A and B are shown apart, each in its own frame.
Chain A
Amino acid sequence: MLNSNLLQLLKPLSSPVGELIIYVEPIKRRNILSNRSLVCILILISLSIYTTGSIHFDYRLPFHADEWHNIKIAQEILKEKKLVEYNPFLPGNPYYVNFNEEAHGVANTNSAMWELNYNLFIALSSLFTGISPLDTGLILPTVLVFILSFNTFILVRYLTKNDLPALLSAIFVMTLKSEVFFLGPWFLVALSFGMAFLPLIFYLFLKSGVSNRYIPVFLLVFAATTLAHPASAVIFIPMLALYMIFNPAIIRRNKNKLLGSIFLLLVLLLVVVPFEGSVAGYIAKILKILTFPRSIPMNRFEVVMQFPVYMGVIAFGLSIFGFFKAMMDNETKILPLSVDALLFIILAYIYLGYAFFAPYERVVVYISEILLILAGIGLYHVYRSIKIQKLAAALVIIILVFQVNSIFTYKEDIPLVIEPGEYEPILWLKDNTPPDAVILAMPRASAAIGVIADRNVVSLIRGRLGSSEDSVNKSLDFFRGNTGTREKILAELKPDYIYSKEEISMSSLKLVHGENKTFIYEVR
């Protein structure tokens, strides 16, 4: 009924889309949008808002430093009306570092283009909806979590030919926990974009083997993901390679398609990392980019043991059960084999000290995402194995309630970039300082100053963007040091204003604003 009414409303549209929507009419007669499907969609939308949207109900600002950095780049794209390849927080700053090369230990590579497609997506979302990039940052993660769960639903429904495991997997996958170190779906980071399309890329890969019509969709989605978050695309190489090793018939049947895909990969590679010098030098550079050394000494058992804690013990157990069940079907085993492929990277990181294809933290998130999809399949098989239906249904509901509510586990551990009370003082900077003013603040708060006040800052905490260690240290020294140190740093960095959480008594500083235990000084 609802479907029929919707079509009646859309039919009179004379736009090109309206013409095309008429095509839906014959589809409608097949009664494909059943009430059950509609209920599934409504459940996924509601849970996306509960698990991701609700985290901003009591804090109306982004959490992670990377989110602020992404919003700033989107703001700059809209301001300059072009893609930007510089750090928009620090133009003209002597400590300027072009994007995050140094932070990732990648020297002499042009990483400025990395993730730009994601920043462009944020900018376009703001442009078309009329919502500011800062507020877009609060909404987009929820949208991407819905896309993630919806894509999971489509993949698992195709693999199992059943709506129930698809719904269970879609619910499980949106309970992937966000954490400041591993990131996750709560944050406005490019990883969330890659995670959202991971299930659909699996689906399109499998369907491309069946019908050529899926190939352009597969290539386009893969290309967009590559330019939005290269790690999320590169990680498919080991996963799909292992699947093809176990299914050599795929290679024999799809030689031309595979060659086409390899060609596309090479083109994308040249876009992301421009060719310079010799072929051997270029290959060495690529290998260096795809190798991530371990920088922090770690307890090797901790890494393995934290999976059950990170995902939830019940989810982890169910994922192991789902893993073995999925191995029994030719197409469904793409999921457990992908876990195996990523497990090799984890083991290499633990025993050799290097992660390959993507940083270790990202690999943990991808493997957890796939394990959560498998947990949904595992729970479905548990449900089917229980003879008393009411008991089985009650068990499924209890597990889902626990799992969904476990998502808030790490919320209190996320360090805030600014306290809610700091928003007003930063807004004061925007309204009362010249547009080219340079603000000296703690490196963490500088990200929020750059976004909310749209002013240049001296230093920036490392994330998607960053500033040199020297600038960060000098900023910290200013707020921790004595008057002599402060005078020396002021003379060197030459800021116009100081943004401080503590009162500073110096003859060269004039207090111009104080609010919510935040003090703004003008440098005389």
Chain B
Amino acid sequence: MIEILQAVLGGIFLVLVPGTAWCLLLFKKEKKDILELAALSIALSISLSTLSIFFLNSLLGVRITLINAGIVLLVLTGIPVLIWIRNGNI
């Protein structure tokens, strides 16, 4: 049961969460439907997570571990949230 939960939540964290945060920030003023947001979020999540870890490892030698990758994804998700807060939305 825990394995299934990890697979589902881990998968969502990798392929949906960072991109969703960025999409909601980028397109907050535009009328977007959920389907388009979902497609863009999946594409952005995969692109952002793989590119960030690719260059962090290639250029700075950051090791590819669950903790490091998790931190990278959290930071990628946190940046749009901070911008959102800074813009006075909360």
Contact = CB atoms under 8 A, between A and B. Distances in A.
A30 B54 CA distance: 39
Contacts of B49: 124
Contact of B21 (A20, A143, A221): A20
Contact of B26 (A78, A131, A217, A227): A217
Contacts of A220: 44, 47-48, 51
Contact of A129 (B6, B58, B63): B6
Contacts of B28: 23
Contact of B43 (A20, A77, A151): A151
A116 interface: yes
A68 interface: no
A21 B90 CA distance: 13
Q: In this complex, which of B3, B38, B43 has the most chain A Cβ atoms within 10 angstroms of its Cβ?
A: B43
Contacts of A77: 64
A127 B84 contact: no
Given A16-B81, A147-B42, A83 B64 contact: yes
A157 B17 CA distance: 24
B88 interface: no
A160 to B, nearest CB: 15
Interface string B28-64: 1011111111111011101111110110011001011
Nearest to A147: B42
A263 to B, nearest CB: 17
A128 B11 contact: yes
A197 interface: yes
B72 to A, nearest CB: 10
Given A27-B34, A77-B64, A83-B58, A224 B51 contact: yes
Given A32-B34, A120-B54, A221-B47, A130 B6 contact: yes
Interface string A59-83: 0000000000000000001100111
B77 A27 contact: no
Contacts of B27: 213
Given A20-B21, A81-B64, A120 B50 contact: yes
A33 interface: yes
A291 interface: no
Nearest to A201: B43
Contact of B44 (A123, A124, A128, A221): A221
Contacts of B48: 220
Contacts of A117: 50-51, 54
A154 B46 contact: no
A223 B51 CA distance: 8
B66 A151 contact: no
B58 A124 contact: no
B65 interface: yes
A123 B64 contact: yes
B66 to A, nearest CB: 5
Interface residues of B, number: 54
A125 B14 contact: yes
Q: B-side binding surface: helix, strand, loop or mixed?
A: helix
B14 A130 contact: no
Nearest to B31: A30
A102 B36 CA distance: 42
B35 A129 contact: no
Contacts of B71: none
Q: A-side binding surface: helix, strand, loop or mixed?
A: helix
A217 B20 contact: no
Nearest to B63: A81
Nearest to B21: A20
Q: In this complex, which of A16, A153, A221 has the most chain B Cβ atoms within 10 angstroms of its Cβ?
A: A16
A221 B77 CA distance: 17
A17 B77 contact: yes
A498 to B, nearest CB: 35
B17 A41 contact: no
Interface in A108-125: 116-117, 120-121, 123-125
A117 B32 CA distance: 30
A151 B39 contact: yes
Contacts of B57: 82-83
Contacts of B17: 17
A323 interface: no
Q: In this complex, which of A17, A116, A120 has the most chain B Cβ atoms within 10 angstroms of its Cβ?
A: A17
Contact of A223 (B7, B37, B47, B78): B47
Interface string A6-49: 00000000001101110110010010110001001100000000
A171 B13 CA distance: 27
11 contacts: A19-B90, A32-B33, A33-B33, A83-B58, A124-B49, A130-B10, A143-B15, A217-B23, A220-B47, A221-B44, A224-B46
Given A16-B21, A127-B64, A220-B44, 16 more contacts: A16-B77, A78-B64, A116-B54, A125-B11, A127-B69, A128-B70, A129-B6, A129-B7, A153-B39, A211-B30, A213-B27, A216-B26, A217-B26, A220-B47, A220-B48, A224-B50
Interface of A: 16-17, 19-21, 23-24, 27, 30, 32-33, 37, 40-41, 77-78, 81-83, 116-117, 120-121, 123-125, 127-131, 143, 147, 150-151, 153-154, 157, 197, 200, 211, 213, 216-217, 220-221, 223-224, 227-228
